[in-house]
Chain A
Amino acid sequence: DAMVIQNPRYQVTQFGKPVTLSCSQTLNHNVMYWYQQKSSQAPKLLFHYYDKDFNNEADTPDNFQSRRPNTSFCFLDIRSPGLGDAAMYLCATSSSFVGNTEAFFGQGTRLTVV
């Protein structure tokens, strides 16, 4: 059974049109992460939540926002997508923030900007 679920799997949006990607988890993990992965590159951390505490990476553009209304759900909002934002967006969870537990990744949402 899928434990970290991302919807949709594929998303096409227009240049400049706001888009929201969603992630849900059945693991009851405290920590949820959003990564951006471009072709043939490593996943790049955008931000993460420890419970309700939001932590933004220093180089994450302001164009990217996130919401976590409850433990199970987390959303990635891209306010004005540009062509450079086309990528795979991966949601991940872990039970602990102390860096000694594995991260469980969702299947990802592949975003295309036209």
Chain B
Amino acid sequence: GQQVMQIPQYQHVQEGEDFTTYCNSSTTLSNIQWYKQRPGGHPVFLIQLVKSGEVKKQKRLTFQFGEAKKNSSLHITATQTTDVGTYFCAGFSDNYGQNFVFGPGTRLSVLP
């Protein structure tokens, strides 16, 4: 079954609205990474979270790692059309064979 899950699968927002995507792992993670893939593009690294309960911010993006290190979230404040794309979390765990396992992604559309 799916080891790393993300919800929602799709999200349509009006420009200026906030957006959140949630990532859940079936096992405790050593760390988690977030990537953004623009339509027709390739995944681009955004951030890595390592510590339990860690919160990191990049301008309008806020990333959080759960206390149990099994879930994470990405929140975008006041979305812009440049935020359009698919956001993937990728979890790293010894239980995943020492590799990152990507979640299915959340595709964000921003209506101007």
Q: Are B107 and A99 in contact (CB under 8 A)?
A: no
Q: Are A105 and B44 in contact (CB under 8 A)?
A: yes
| A41 CA / B98 CA spacing, docked (Å) | 21
1/0 contact string of A96-111 vs chain B (CB within 8 Å): 0101101111111000
Q: Are B45 and A43 in contact (CB under 8 A)?
A: no
Confirm or deny: A90 has a beta carbon within 8 angstroms of a beta carbon on chain B.
yes
1/0 contact string of B36-48 vs chain A (CB within 8 Å): 0000011111001
In the complex formed, the residue of B with least CB distance to A41 is B104
Within 8 A of B (CB), among A39-68: 40-45, 48, 57
Least CB distance from A39 to B in Å reads: 11
In the complex formed, the residue of B with least CB distance to A4 is B42
1/0 contact string of A12-43 vs chain B (CB within 8 Å): 00000000000000000000000000001111
Q: Are A43 and B99 in contact (CB under 8 A)?
A: no
| A105 CA / B45 CA spacing, docked (Å) | 9
Interface range, B side: 20 to 34
1/0 contact string of B95-112 vs chain A (CB within 8 Å): 001111111110100000
For the complex, would chain A's binding face be called helix, strand, loop or mixed by DSSP majority?
loop
Confirm or deny: B88 has a beta carbon within 8 angstroms of a beta carbon on chain A.
yes
Confirm or deny: B50 has a beta carbon within 8 angstroms of a beta carbon on chain A.
yes
Given the contacts A42-B88, A105-B42, A105-B44, A100 and B99 also touching, CB distance less than 8 Å: no
Residue in A42, A44, A99, A103 whose CB lies within 8 Å of B98: A99
Residue in A40, A42, A45, A108 whose CB lies within 8 Å of B103: A42
Q: Are B42 and A107 in contact (CB under 8 A)?
A: yes
Q: Are A100 and B31 in contact (CB under 8 A)?
A: yes
Q: Are B45 and A103 in contact (CB under 8 A)?
A: yes
